[in-house]
Amino acid sequence: MILEARNLGWSVRGRPIVSGVDLAVSEGETLGLVGPNGSGKSTLMKLLAGIREPTAGSVAVAGKALVAMPRREVARRIAFLEQQSETTEAITVKDAVELGRTPWLTPLQPWSQEDDRIVAQALADTDMRGFERRSWTTLSGGERQRVHLARALAQQPQILLLDEPTNHLDIQHQLSLLHLVATLPVTSIVALHDLNQALSCDRVGVLSGGRLVALGAPREVLTVGRIGSVFGVRASVLVDPADGSQIFRFHPAS
């Protein structure tokens, strides 16, 4: 297992925000995390990224305890795209993406053509070619989101943690981001609000009240009954005539 959480928890002033999470993610897998507002998705992602220390349990990456891992090694293994990642610095898009290479640079291994190639590929993968010289401050919300993703890709991590990455993105870029994440040879954990998008993940975990209440194949986990009990809405299943696949439509619980 590339990423393993055991009895993972985080409490603040005695209030449990995430508790008892057991999770094992295998190499190359794309795991979707869904749950209502405040159910603990972002907190769990921060615990898995090592930027929040657990108050219970542990996280291991490739069998090594995350808390004992040097920062540089964590940064080589894990890239985290936060929900509200902002920078006020007046840097260019290229500078921002190049920052993703930082964990790999050493005095003996300074910037090389290979780093240029990786940065160019990350810009291409996120459809941000041509924006290299633009100042970060002039970008739209969706363009900023794509630059953040490009920086995460330039990091060439083993594990990609994406907290609501489709936020701000138009529908074409939402679909291409999800397709990219699914096809990348990295392990990805993606917090999503769109349950139809979650259906395309390899597995889905459902958080409710800080607990992982279900984990498994999307169709087994995202049932009409569970959607009703966890999200408080009524779901109906429709069939897309284009390809016969099933999708959800949601209604307020009467």
Ligand X SMILES: Nc1ncnc2c1ncn2[C@@H]1O[C@H](COP(=O)(O)OP(=O)(O)OP(=O)(O)O)[C@@H](O)[C@H]1O
Q: Biggest alpha carbon distance in the chain?
A: 65
Judged by CB under 6 A, the stretch of 39-47, 99-107, 178-186, 229-237 that binds ligand X is 39-47
4, 5, 19, 42: residue in contact with ligand X (rule CB under 6 A): 42
What's the CA gap between 7 and 54, in Å, rounded?
Answer: 10
> 219 forms bridges with which residues in the sheet?
none
Q: Which is nearer to ligand X, 30 or 43 (CB)?
A: 43
Q: Which is nearer to ligand X, 27 or 53 (CB)?
A: 53
What's the CA gap between 28 and 211, in Å, rounded?
Answer: 24
Q: Is there a contact between 68 and 224 (Cβ–Cβ < 8 Å)?
A: no
189 binds ligand X per the rule CB under 6 A: no
8, 17, 97, 212: residue in contact with ligand X (rule CB under 6 A): 17
To ligand X, the closest distance from the beta carbon of 118 in angstroms equals 30
CA R_g for the chain: 19
To ligand X, the closest distance from the beta carbon of 84 in angstroms equals 9
Q: Which is nearer to ligand X, 14 or 185 (CB)?
A: 14
32 binds ligand X per the rule CB under 6 A: no
Q: How many residues does the chain have?
A: 254
41 binds ligand X per the rule CB under 6 A: yes
28, 38, 228, 232: residue in contact with ligand X (rule CB under 6 A): 38
Which residues does 35 contact at the CB level (< 8 Å), separation at least 6?
Answer: 41, 206, 207, 208, 230
Instruction: Indicate the SS3 state at residue 188.
Output: strand
What's phi and psi for 143, nearest 5 deg? -65, -40
Q: Is there a contact between 253 and 234 (Cβ–Cβ < 8 Å)?
A: yes
To ligand X, the closest distance from the beta carbon of 231 in angstroms equals 11
To ligand X, the closest distance from the beta carbon of 18 in angstroms equals 7
Site string for ligand X, 192-231 (x = CB under 6 A): ----------------------------------------
What's the CA gap between 126 and 138, in Å, rounded?
Answer: 18
Q: Which is nearer to ligand X, 38 or 232 (CB)?
A: 38
Q: Which is nearer to ligand X, 119 or 204 (CB)?
A: 204
* Residue keyed to tokens 């009240």: 209
31 class by beta-carbon count within 10 Å (0-12 exposed, 13-18 middle, 19+ buried): buried
To ligand X, the closest distance from the beta carbon of 75 in angstroms equals 22
Q: Which is nearer to ligand X, 1 or 36 (CB)?
A: 36
Judged by the rule CB under 6 A, the positions of this chain that interact with ligand X are 12, 17, 35, 37-43
